[in-house]
């Protein structure tokens, strides 16, 4: 009797509860769940007795197959490795358990029962998950810091020759403007003549357009490198900057411009007028917009699919909003509820880490904002980020 009590205490220490399955001819004929089950699952021993399928239904849908396979091995009398899986508590929350099975056999070696030793490992899993997130975030931060240094260096190297091009293009533009009246006068008095291998009458407009194109292209390079340099700067973490949402979106579009042009010929942007400034961190919000635009581009199936970006002010709720809509492949309903979870991604085969939306969501939350995602498979996705405006905020 004393030995039995010691064993019971030992088992209670090592497990949260025990269940026993009685086997006859390789088939489960009876299952008993110990009284400790209520603290882990929320269900009592009577609940399991009255509903023989409850043990299976409470298993998380994504883990049911491996739990069934574990049970089949035990029923056949084989040794079974411990299994970690999720269950749905009676209150609807998700718990993690470790299920260790010990098989009992008769003298002939046939299985007559097995005992399941259940440990609630929810806290352990949460700690492991948090540690993994911190590790991934540190690696990502280190990668972004290295990328920032690289981008700044490349932008500087591009700026040097581009400044030379821009200065000379401006000089030639002035020369051409000064020379054109003289050339026009010569053309009137002497007729057409050849310049740059073409007749002056035909080349005049083309030369003007070429010079303007060089100037515009050089200015664009200048703006892009400036935006990249600003984006690559170390984030101060300050959330008290006065942020112009339209400017943030404009810079994000400039940075993602190449991806946008490769992805769609139907990109539209609508900037709201007189948007109030918000308090926050422009660089962090740029990261959010870049991520949302990138996701929209990657979801498109053909270049005629539309992406529409719009900013506006909801005066009633006093929120500045950025809305990004695409006509891409959309997100399955089963995935939509997990889409903001760290490391969840539908683009694993494309190198997706599942951090982009999670990081964006946390940035928006740190600004006391909200992110709403709506999607229909085959139709497209709408992402809307909202940022609150304080009552004393001035309009620009």
Q: Report the C-alpha gap between 344 and 338 in whole angstroms.
A: 7
Residue that is last in its domain, among 120, 137, 153: 120
User: pLDDT value at position 107?
Assistant: 85
DSSP line for 74-135: HHTT-----EEEEEE-TTS-EEEEEEEEEEEE-TTS-EEEEEEEEEE-HHHHHHHHHHHHHH
Quick one: tokens of 249? 């979106």
Nearest partner of 49 among 71, 32, 28, 27, judged by Cα:
32
Q: Are residues 310 and 392 in the same domain?
A: yes
Q: Are residues 176 and 284 in the same domain?
A: no
Which stretches within the chain are classed as H helix?
2-14, 37-41, 45-50, 54-57, 64-75, 122-190, 200-232, 245-255, 257-263, 282-299, 333-336, 356-366
Quick one: tokens of 264? 């769609």
Q: Are residues 296 and 341 in the same domain?
A: yes
Mean pLDDT of the chain: 83
Q: pLDDT digits over 255-312, tens only? A: 888 889 999 999 999 999 999 999 998 888 988 898 899 989 988 999 999 999 999 9
User: pLDDT value at position 351?
Assistant: 42
**Strand-strand pairing, 266-270 and 306-314:** parallel
Q: Report the C-alpha gap between 15 and 95 in whole angstroms.
A: 15
Q: Report the C-alpha gap between 329 and 97 in whole angstroms.
A: 36
Q: Are residues 185 and 328 in the same domain?
A: no
Q: Are residues 22 and 144 in the same domain?
A: no
pLDDT band at residue 318, thresholds of 50, 70 and 90? very high
Nearest partner of 259 among 303, 323, 229, judged by Cα:
303
Q: Are residues 103 and 128 in the same domain?
A: no
Q: Are residues 241 and 347 in the same domain?
A: yes
Q: Over 60: is that where the pLDDT of 171 sits?
A: yes
* Residue 14 belongs to domain spanning: 2-120
Q: Are residues 17 and 32 in the same domain?
A: yes
Q: Over 90: is that where the pLDDT of 137 sits?
A: no
Residue that is last in its domain, among 234, 255, 276: 234
Q: Are residues 48 and 112 in the same domain?
A: yes
Q: Are residues 172 and 263 in the same domain?
A: no
- Report the b/e string of 62-77 with b at 16+ CB within 10 A: ebeeebeebbebbbeb
Q: Report the C-alpha gap between 289 and 274 in whole angstroms.
A: 20
The total of structural domains in the chain comes to: 3
The domain spanning residue 297 has which CATH number? 3.30.565.10
Q: Are residues 280 and 337 in the same domain?
A: yes
Q: Are residues 189 and 334 in the same domain?
A: no
* Helix (H) / strand (E) containing 266: strand 266-270
Residues 83/70, Cβ–Cβ less than 8 Å:
yes
Residue that is last in its domain, among 87, 120, 153: 120
Within 10 A of 130 (CB to CB), how many other CB atoms are there? 11
pTM: 0.49
Mean pLDDT over 37-53 rounds to 90
């Amino acid at each position: 009797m004393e030995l039995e009590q010691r064993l019971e205490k030992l088992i209670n220490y090592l497990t949260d509860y025990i269940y026993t399955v009685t086997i006859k001819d390789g088939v489960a004929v009876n299952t008993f769940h110990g009284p400790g089950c209520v603290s882990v699952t929320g269900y009592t021993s009577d609940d399991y007795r009255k509903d023989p399928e409850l043990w299976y239904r409470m298993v998380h849908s994504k883990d049911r197959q491996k739990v069934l396979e574990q049970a089949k091995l035990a029923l056949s009398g084989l040794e079974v490795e411990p299994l970690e899986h999720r269950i749905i508590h009676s209150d609807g929350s998700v718990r993690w358990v470790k299920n260790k099975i010990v098989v009992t056999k008769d003298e002939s070696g046939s299985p007559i029962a097995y005992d399941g030793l259940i440990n609630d490992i929810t806290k352990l899993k949460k700690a492991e998950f948090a540690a993994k997130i911190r590790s991934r975030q540190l690696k990502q931060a280190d990668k972004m810091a290295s990328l920032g240094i690289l981008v700044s260096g490349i932008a500087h190297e591009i700026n040097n020759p581009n400044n030379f091009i821009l200065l000379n293009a401006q000089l030639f533009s002035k020369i051409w403007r000064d020379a054109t009246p003289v050339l026009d006068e010569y053309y009137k008095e002497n007729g057409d003549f050849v310049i740059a291998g073409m007749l002056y009458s035909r080349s005049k407009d083309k030369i003007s357009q070429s010079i303007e194109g060089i100037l515009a292209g050089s200015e664009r390079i200048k703006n892009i490198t400036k935006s990249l340099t600003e984006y690559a700067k170390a984030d101060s973490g300050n959330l008290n900057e006065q942020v112009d949402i339209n400017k943030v979106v404009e810079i994000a579009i400039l940075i993602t411009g190449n991806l946008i042009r490769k992805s769609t010929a139907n990109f539209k942007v609508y900037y709201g007028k007189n948007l109030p400034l918000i308090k926050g961190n422009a660089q962090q919000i740029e990261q959010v917009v870049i991520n949302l635009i990138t996701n929209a581009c990657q979801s498109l199936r053909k270049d005629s699919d539309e992406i529409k970006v719009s900013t506006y002010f909801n005066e009633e709720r006093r929120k500045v909003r950025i809305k990004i809509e695409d006509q891409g492949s959309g997100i399955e309903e089963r995935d939509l509820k997990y889409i903001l979870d760290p490391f969840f991604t539908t683009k694993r085969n494309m190198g997706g880490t599942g951090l982009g939306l999670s990081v964006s969501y946390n940035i928006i939350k740190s600004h006391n904002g909200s992110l709403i995602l709506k999607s229909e498979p085959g139709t497209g996705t709408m992402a809307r980020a909202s940022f609150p405006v304080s009552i004393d905020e001035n309009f620009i």
